[in-house]
């Protein structure tokens, strides 16, 4: 089960607006699979009545107009993509004031979820300091078009476990976010 940090509605209770905040789903992806997770989260939010934009973290210059943020990054060599790290740094003041949810995407293959392939510790520390409501890890997909290591991963990974993204798990996580934001709307 993904780790879910202490959630709550306190931040939303103090929000003066009675409308559901628009959510920015920002992602950092090299080979597209994290982008697809981010799109699925945004789609689920919209389906649950929460307005959401899905954007490349590297393209986001400001957070004006957004009342909540979901940030996700692919993990490579135990690190987040630099666009996601830069996003955290650049917007840290606003993020500390906004409801924030975070996901990493990485583990692939048929082994039990590998403890080696977890969230980068520095990212966990930063997002907890920013008051993130949850930070979770989703499975990833072996890149189909990468370099030497990716090719070797693809060769050594059984095709049926090359894509470990669990769309039900992702959808449920997004539904939980929508639920929290809708609760805030009623406060
Ligand atoms: C060279 C390479 C290194 C990787 N390193 C990690 C890692 O350290 N931890 C992890 O969880 N996943 C790792 N992965 C798996 C990727 O995170 C996974 O394939 C992810 O879904 C890629 O996301 P993207 O398609 O959005 O770029 C690695 C993949 C490659 C090709």
Residues flanking ligand 1, CB < 6 Å: 29-34, 74-78, 105-108, 117, 140-143, 146, 149-150, 153
Report the pLDDT value the prediction gives residue 11, as an integer from 0 to 100: 38
Ligand 1 centroid from CA 18, angstroms: 40
Q: pLDDT for 28-42, tens place per residue?
A: 999 999 999 999 999
Q: Find out whether 126 and 88 touch, Cβ atoms under 8 Å.
A: yes
143, 154, 167: which to mutate for ligand 1, most atoms within 8 A of CB? 143
CB crowding 55-84: b at 16 or more within 10 Å, else e: eebeebeebeebbbbbbbbbbbeeebbebb
pLDDT value, residue 56: 98
Q: Which atom of ligand 1 is nearest to the CA of 74?
A: 23
Residue whose CB lies within 8 A of the most ligand 1 atoms, among 31, 76, 104, for a mutation test: 76
- At 98 the pLDDT is 98
- Cα dihedral: 79, 82, 86, 88 (round 10): -40
Nearest alpha carbon to residue 12 among 27, 23, 3 = 23
Count CA atoms within 13 Å of residue 11 on its CB side: 21
Domains of the chain, earliest start first: 20-182 (3.40.50.360)
* Mean model confidence pLDDT for the chain: 88
Q: Is the pLDDT of residue 18 over 80?
A: no
> Can you tell me the mean pLDDT for 41-67?
97
Label residue 174 by pLDDT band (50, 70, 90).
Answer: very high
Q: What is the pLDDT of residue 137?
A: 96
Mean pLDDT, range 107-128, rounded to an integer: 87
Atom number, ligand 1, closest to the C-alpha of residue 33:
25
What global pTM score does this model have?
0.90
């Amino acid at each position: 089960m993904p780790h879910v940090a202490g959630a709550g509605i306190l931040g939303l209770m103090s929000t003066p607006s009675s409308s559901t905040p628009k959510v920015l789903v920002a992602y950092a992806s090299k080979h597209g699979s994290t982008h697809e997770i981010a799109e699925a989260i945004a789609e689920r939010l919209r389906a649950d009545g929460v307005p959401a934009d899905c954007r490349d973290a590297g393209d986001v210059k400001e957070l004006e107009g957004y009342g909540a943020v979901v940030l996700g990054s692919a993990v490579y060599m135990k690190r987040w993509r630099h666009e996601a790290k830069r996003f955290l740094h650049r917007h840290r003041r606003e993020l500390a004031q906004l409801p924030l949810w975070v996901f990493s995407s990485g583990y692939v293959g048929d082994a039990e979820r590998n403890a080696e392939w977890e969230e980068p510790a520095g990212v966990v520390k930063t997002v907890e300091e920013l008051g993130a409501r949850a930070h979770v890890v989703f499975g990833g997909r072996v890149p189909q078009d990468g370099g030497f290591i990716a090719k070797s991963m693809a060769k050594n990974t059984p095709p049926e476990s090359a894509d470990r993204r669990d769309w039900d798990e992702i959808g449920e996580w997004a539904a939980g976010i929508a639920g929290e934001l809708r609760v805030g709307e009623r406060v």
